[in-house]
Amino acid sequence: MGKNKLAKFADMQTYANVFEYPHSVAEQIPFEKRGCWNSSFFHNSNPIVIELGCGRGEYTVELAKLYPDRNFIGIDIKGARMWAGATQAIQQNIPNVAFLRTNIEIIDRFFAAGEVSQIWLTFPDPQMKKFTKRLTSTPFLERYRKFLAPDGVINLKTDSNFMYTYTLAMAEHNNLPVIYNIQNIDVYLEESTGTELSTILNIRTYYEQQWRDRGIDIKYMAFSVPQESVLTEPEIEIELDTYRSYNRSKRSGLETSK
């Protein structure tokens, strides 16, 4: 039986690779590593890549193992899940990975201008009812470019057709440069085995494998957000997903894998 939540939170308070600044704390205590993540924690000048909504941290850890010449930070508010990735990084002595427990709505408080080279959004909640909560909406893109490098890239990997369609519409409406647009990762991997991108996209989280087992296509986009552009929301009607997430499969006829 795995550790309970209280034990996991107690562990993380002792972890040197975990920083806990939820909204209530961040309001009162300034974050001392803003603008100096590399000098004060990683002790190098390598590019910083962050994963927003990292969950268990599988993607953050696997990316860090693939690219020891880059620094990776997994970010989520759910510490009990984050414990798995943080523990793995310590046990396997992976020095180029850290975790930040905070609310994504205040993410721009933790990084200085130009400090982050890439953002990964791995299977975010599509937030079909309220666009301001979507991680690729105008409010969030405005936050990101406060700390993204001028050539910074946002990567989206999603099971949600709604989220994919909305993000593509955002990019097209605002003339954002689209670097990759893959509507079915499995088809892409069959044709591109051995490439750098195929290696990255082959990283599968626990929940991603559940969605694949249910026959849901996984989509991937990479795009940039120029600093000088004015961002507005597209006027578009998008068909809603017939399910919300792995834990709510009862909203569709799909079954989870046993």
**Spatial separation of the C-alpha atoms in residues 57 and 88, rounded to whole Å:** 9
Catalytic residue selected from 11, 108, 125, 217: 125
Amino acid at 37: W
For residue 75, give Cα distances in angstroms to 14, 97, 107: 18, 11, 9
List helix spans (H) across the chain.
Answer: 5-12, 23-26, 37, 58-66, 79-91, 138-144, 161-173, 185-192, 196-201, 206-213
DSSP state of 41: I
Q: Are 150 and 144 a contacting pair, CB within 8 Å?
A: no
Query: Would you call 112 helix, strand, or coil by DSSP?
Result: coil
Q: Is 125 a catalytic residue?
A: yes
**Spatial separation of the C-alpha atoms in residues 166 and 104, rounded to whole Å:** 19
**Spatial separation of the C-alpha atoms in residues 37 and 102, rounded to whole Å:** 16
Q: Are 78 and 9 a contacting pair, CB within 8 Å?
A: no
**Spatial separation of the C-alpha atoms in residues 215 and 257, rounded to whole Å:** 10
Query: Would you call 73 helix, strand, or coil by DSSP?
Result: strand
Catalytic residues, by residue number, are 125
